[in-house]
Amino acid sequence: MTQTTTDQHAGALPDPQGRRAGGVVPVLAFAGITVAVMQTLLVPVIKDLPTLLDTAPANATWVMTATLLAGAVSTPIMGRLGDLFGKRRMLLASLAVMVFGSLICAFTDDLIVMIVGRALQGFAMGAIPLGIGIMRDELPREKLGSAMALMSSSIGVGGGLALPVAALIAQNADWHVLFFAAAGLGTLSILLTLRYVPESSLRATGTFDWLGAIGLSAGLVSLLLPVTKGSDWGWGSSTTLGLFGLGTAILLLWGFMELRSPAPLVDLRTTARREVLLTNLASIMVGVAFYAISLVLPQLLQLPAATGYGLGQSMVVAGLCVAPLGLTMMFTAPVYARISAKHGPKASLILGMLIIAIGYGGGLGLMNAAWQTIIISVVVGAGIGLAYSSLPALIIGAVDPSETGAANGLNTLMRSIGTSVSSAVIGMVLAHTSVRMGGVAVPTMHGFRVSFLIATGAVMAGLVLAAFLPSQRPAAAKSLTADAESPADGDVPVPRPNRHANPEPHRQGTLVAGSGGFRGRVLDADGTPVAHANVTLIDRRGRQAGLTTADEDGRYALLPPSGGPYVLAGSATGHTPHARPAEYAGDGLPVDVDLVLGLGPDRDHLGGRARNEDRDAVRSVRS
């Protein structure tokens, strides 16, 4: 796939050799792992935080809650900012804020300052959807599936690998070293991103919805705060119930505003699509299942053997036993790519959830030795890796390319909500089933098993939701023509242009000219240039072969990967998309192709004729 930047000269074709695509995947995956480390950084010392910060246990939990809330708020916001102003730019901003927050924490023992620093660390969670968006814009299609799977799984990889390392540091050094290490990882990630990750040329049109961002932030904080603190405040307390009511009211009002906004932070109409809605709901269930194992196994492993069921392991050994959870998630990325290429991402999501259910179900009888917890970690990790890898492919297959960052940001938020609910519910279960030993409340084996049953139930609910996802692969369903074949080697669905197009008189026939790439202008029906329009290049098999954004004068340039017939499709907010066939011969001469967009489906009374002509355009290329 070839892209140009918005400041590239309109008459010049992009140079595919100029991009350092080879380093994009490992660098973005490393950024995702770095961000995920923030979530488990303090797990080894969480029980000691009240002493370390000289505060009450209820106050110390804010150190963890602040990171969770900041991550939930920043994820959809950074995704939308990336769509508008550049995903690489926002990725660098997220990592820089994380480094700053890490340094604040590294130099303080004050509770309030620590909470501020941890909130800034959580702000980096927006890097996950930004990384997925960059991959979608920059990578060739055959590499996209496994790359996005690795990026999506990096949350679990970072968390799983960070646990034993953080435990080792906490046992052998001052706990502030954890934050210095986090700042070092963030700095390294920034440098690698600057060196190897190009800026995406794809931009969404419109402005940033600041009022929508404030409303979403207020609603999420009001809703998630009682979820995370309900066990401390009491689930029936006026504070908990009041915040639940306030959060619900704010989000309802926010949704009404977003539906009326010309440039919403989150396109709720897109979110309400069957495939997007069901995928997001399934993501919540996978998030619940993912976090359950992280809450149960470390406690089981570290409980003293004198309890009769505790495994009496050290903090470091407990971390090593849970580490295969993240490692297995990483190794399932290429497996996902093969499964999805053959059967589609829906099949891999369902398979992943089935494996998670088997892992938790079998785990009910595998809690008697450390090696048994490793088996649980491996099986559940494999299932979560497959499930997490499928989610961005399902989302990307259902939204416009210019909405990739915001849509994946919302999906990542759904996972975060799942982990928040898991933490609250399982924490409540373990607290209510605990017993007093030596004056200390100790979780029971009954509580651990109930927690596993809750995770199993969540996965089964996710399976039901996934079963109602569209059976056909979105790539085929969104093709320009109803009888288009599915890509033989496609493992990630690619959104296709809308069939509605403006039927201007000169669009008939196929342009044939010398090669060198396609160039031209995107215009409206009156001949006015359409700035920042998206131009997609589609090959004869219905696959995306290139993508770029027109400049201020509506000029674009695209270099096809090889000679042959193609379809050039233009789209822009407020205009009806237009597809036009063209041929790329290969003898070094450019092909001039102008795309004329209509005024929008609601204002184009010739839409039916346009749809027929678009079908004819694609059929002429495919034949």
For the residues 210-216, what does the mean pLDDT come to? 86
We report the CATH number of the domain holding residue 380 as 1.20.1250.20
For the residues 98-124, what does the mean pLDDT come to? 90
Residue where a domain stops, chosen among 458, 477, 496: 477
Q: Is residue 495 part of a domain?
A: no
- Sequence-distant (6+) residues with CB within 8 A of 82 are 89, 90, 91, 126, 129, 130, 133, 405
341-357 pLDDT tens trace: 778 888 888 999 999 99
Three-class SS of residue 363? Answer: helix
Q: What is the pLDDT of residue 586?
A: 58
Question: Which one-letter amino acid corresponds to residue 68?
Answer: L
What does each C-alpha distance from 472 to 347, 467, 526, 540, 585 come to in angstroms? 10, 12, 39, 20, 34
Within this chain, do residues 154 and 251 fall inside the same structural domain, yes or no?
no
Q: Is residue 7 part of a domain?
A: no
54-90 pLDDT tens trace: 887 777 778 877 887 888 788 888 878 887 888 888 9
Q: Is the pLDDT of residue 485 over 80?
A: no
CA distance 396 to 411: 11
Find which of 116-130, 157-171, 511-525, 577-591 is predicted with most confidence, using mean pLDDT: 116-130
What does each C-alpha distance from 114 to 47, 109, 118 come to in angstroms? 16, 7, 6
- Report the phi/psi class of residue 138: left, alpha or beta, with left for phi > 0 and alpha for psi in -120 to 50: alpha
Q: Is the pLDDT of residue 31 over 80?
A: yes
Q: Is residue 498 part of a domain?
A: no
Q: What is the pLDDT of residue 453?
A: 92
CA distance 468 to 394: 13
Find which of 160-174, 313-327, 367-381, 437-451 is predicted with most confidence, using mean pLDDT: 367-381
Buried b (16+ CB within 10 A) or exposed e, 166-203: bbebbeeeebeebbbbbbebbbebbebbeebbbbbbbb
**200: confidence class by pLDDT, cuts 50, 70, 90:** confident
Within this chain, do residues 515 and 427 fall inside the same structural domain, yes or no?
no
Q: Is residue 15 part of a domain?
A: no
CA distance 457 to 285: 9
Within this chain, do residues 86 and 215 fall inside the same structural domain, yes or no?
no
Q: Which two tokens stand for residue 233?
A: 């405040």
- Sequence-distant (6+) residues with CB within 8 A of 484 are 476, 542, 618, 622
The single residue listed with the structure tokens 């990967």 is 561
Residue where a domain stops, chosen among 441, 461, 477: 477
CA distance 131 to 209: 22
Q: What is the pLDDT of residue 135?
A: 82
Q: Which two tokens stand for residue 173?
A: 């050094």
548-603 pLDDT tens trace: 888 888 888 887 877 778 888 888 877 777 788 888 765 556 788 888 887 654 44
Q: Is the pLDDT of residue 387 over 50?
A: yes
Please name which of 469, 471, 475, 473 lies closest in space to residue 494, comparing C-alpha atoms: 475
Average pLDDT of the chain is: 76
Within this chain, do residues 459 and 322 fall inside the same structural domain, yes or no?
yes
Whether 154 and 127 have beta carbons less than 8 Å apart is answered as no
Using a 10 angstrom Cβ sphere, with 0-12 exposed, 13-18 middle and 19 or more buried, the burial of residue 531 is middle
Q: What is the pLDDT of residue 516?
A: 57
Q: What is the pLDDT of residue 223?
A: 82
Within this chain, do residues 189 and 217 fall inside the same structural domain, yes or no?
no
Please name which of 470, 510, 502 lies closest in space to residue 570, comparing C-alpha atoms: 502
Backbone angles phi, psi at 519, to 5 degrees: -150, 160
What does each C-alpha distance from 283 to 200, 217, 349, 484, 619 come to in angstroms? 27, 20, 10, 30, 37
Q: Is residue 325 part of a domain?
A: yes
Whether 211 and 263 have beta carbons less than 8 Å apart is answered as no
For the residues 186-197, what does the mean pLDDT come to? 91
**186: confidence class by pLDDT, cuts 50, 70, 90:** very high
Within this chain, do residues 172 and 27 fall inside the same structural domain, yes or no?
yes
Buried b (16+ CB within 10 A) or exposed e, 588-601: eebbebbbbbbeee
CA distance 98 to 104: 10
Q: What is the pLDDT of residue 142?
A: 66
Within this chain, do residues 325 and 454 fall inside the same structural domain, yes or no?
yes
Whether 259 and 268 have beta carbons less than 8 Å apart is answered as yes
Q: Is the pLDDT of residue 526 over 80?
A: no
Q: Is residue 2 part of a domain?
A: no
DSSP summary character for residue 241: H
Within this chain, do residues 244 and 288 fall inside the same structural domain, yes or no?
no
- Sequence-distant (6+) residues with CB within 8 A of 258 are 209, 212, 264, 265, 266, 267, 268
Within this chain, do residues 171 and 306 fall inside the same structural domain, yes or no?
yes
- Structural domain boundaries enclosing 234: 210-260
For the residues 449-456, what does the mean pLDDT come to? 90
Within this chain, do residues 246 and 368 fall inside the same structural domain, yes or no?
no
| DSSP string for residues in 482-547 | TTPPPPSS--S------S-----GGG-S-EEE-SS-EEEEEEETTS-B-TT-EEEEE-TTS-EEEE
CA distance 37 to 160: 9
Q: What is the pLDDT of residue 497?
A: 38
Q: Which two tokens stand for residue 267?
A: 């396109």
Three-class SS of residue 596? Answer: strand
Q: What is the pLDDT of residue 605?
A: 42
Using a 10 angstrom Cβ sphere, with 0-12 exposed, 13-18 middle and 19 or more buried, the burial of residue 272 is exposed
Q: Is residue 171 part of a domain?
A: yes
Q: Tell me, yes or no, if the pTM score tops 0.95.
A: no
Find which of 165-174, 240-249, 549-558, 570-579 is predicted with most confidence, using mean pLDDT: 240-249
CA distance 102 to 104: 5
Within this chain, do residues 219 and 253 fall inside the same structural domain, yes or no?
yes
The percentage of the chain sitting over the pLDDT mark of 70, rounded to a whole number, equals 79
Helix (H) or strand (E) holding 82: helix 62-85
Q: What is the pLDDT of residue 141?
A: 65
Q: Which two tokens stand for residue 223?
A: 């809703």
Q: Which two tokens stand for residue 175?
A: 């706990």
Within this chain, do residues 524 and 385 fall inside the same structural domain, yes or no?
no
Please name which of 170, 169, 135, 173 lies closest in space to residue 152, comparing C-alpha atoms: 135
Q: Is the pLDDT of residue 512 over 70?
A: no
- Of 12-16, 331-335, 528-532, give the lowest mean pLDDT range: 12-16
Q: Which two tokens stand for residue 601?
A: 């489906």
Q: Is the pLDDT of residue 502 over 50?
A: no
We report the CATH number of the domain holding residue 556 as 2.60.40.1120
Helix (H) or strand (E) holding 417: helix 404-432
Q: What is the pLDDT of residue 589?
A: 66
Q: What is the pLDDT of residue 404?
A: 64
CA distance 193 to 215: 31
Buried b (16+ CB within 10 A) or exposed e, 549-561: bbbeebbbbbbbb
CA distance 27 to 588: 34
Whether 321 and 377 have beta carbons less than 8 Å apart is answered as yes
Q: Is residue 358 part of a domain?
A: yes
The percentage of the chain sitting over the pLDDT mark of 90, rounded to a whole number, equals 11
Q: Is the pLDDT of residue 490 over 80?
A: no
Q: How many domains does the chain have?
A: 3
Q: What is the pLDDT of residue 107?
A: 92
Neighbours of 58 (CB within 10 A): 11
What does each C-alpha distance from 188 to 27, 28, 183, 570 come to in angstroms? 10, 12, 9, 38
